[in-house]
Amino acid sequence: MNNSTQSDGPHQSSDKKRRYLTAEKKFQIYLEAQASDKPVGELLRREGLYSTDLARIRQQVREGALQRLGAKPGRQPDPVSTEAYEAIKHELQEKERALADLSVELAILRKKNEWGFVGPIAGQWINEQTKLEILTVIETSQNQGVSARRSCAILVIAHRRIVRWQQRAGQGQGLANLTPGQKKHCTGFCPRRSTRLW
């Protein structure tokens, strides 16, 4: 009996590293193995492969074909990386926040129009009811994330004027317009004249 029996594999030493096969090369080997004109053993020896390697290549080709044939027709969407997804999510949140701010600003401008103001409110006499409504609008805007200073800028009214109204309302004082000028007569501050006799 001959001890040099041929197997379906290469004659290599065990310490030799296996080479890497590209997908194209594996497919070429698969096609050659499927052709019936050459023996498979010869192909395996020439490529330095074992029969298990060929079985693995056949399985990979089958799985790849089933995956591609099972896909829905049309262009497949490209997968999005986690970093790109997080960036898009952050951008969307920023835009939603900006949209919410703009809707609050629009509501403020509509109220200003309802009150009959065109242009800046600064320097105009405002009745008590409108002052209370302005304070309510500013407070509502603050609850929705728009600062009092931003609301004042939209209304074109001095922030210190709003602060003064808030202080007066907080102390229980009315917001009715006070008459301008001095509260006491000038003589109240002047020292008494002494009448001198000559």
Domain that holds residue 130: 98-170
Is residue 164 situated within a structural domain?
yes
Residue with tokens 């296996």: 18
Residue 112 confidence (pLDDT): 81
Note whether 102 and 53 are same-domain residues.
Answer: no
7, amino acid identity? S
Q: How many CB atoms are located within 10 Å of the residue 197 CB? A: 3
Residue 79 lies in a domain: no
Q: Where are the beta strands (DSSP E) in 102-145?
A: none
Q: Are residues 59 and 111 in the same domain?
A: no
**Contact between 134 and 179 (Cβ < 8 Å):** no
Whether 80 is covered by a domain: the verdict is: no
Q: Is residue 191 in some structural domain?
A: no
Q: In the numeric block, which tokens belong to residue 194?
A: 């002494």
Q: Are residues 64 and 111 in the same domain?
A: no
Total domains in the chain come to 2
Taking every pair of Cα atoms in the chain, the longest distance, rounded to a whole number of angstroms, is: 163
Is residue 53 assigned to a domain?
yes
Does 102 lie in the same domain as 66? no
Each residue's pLDDT expressed in tens, for the chain with a length of 198 residues: 444 444 455 555 444 566 788 988 888 888 888 886 778 888 888 888 888 998 999 999 999 888 888 877 777 677 878 888 899 999 999 998 888 888 888 888 888 888 887 777 767 778 888 888 888 888 888 888 888 888 888 888 888 888 988 888 888 888 777 665 555 555 555 555 555 554
Whether residue 166 is contained in a domain is answered as yes
Long-range contacts (CB closer than 8 Å, 24 or more residues apart) made by 165-172: 165/131, 165/134, 165/135, 166/135, 169/132, 169/135
Write down which residue in 33, 50, 70 finishes a domain.
70
- Please report whether residue 129 resides in a domain: yes
Q: What is the pLDDT of residue 116?
A: 80
- Cβ atoms < 10 Å from Cβ of 132: 14
Amino acid at 84: A
Do 123 and 163 lie in one domain? The reply is yes
Amino acid 4: pLDDT: 44
Any domain includes 184: no
Q: Among 50, 145, 60, 68, which residue's Cα sits nearest to residue 104?
A: 145
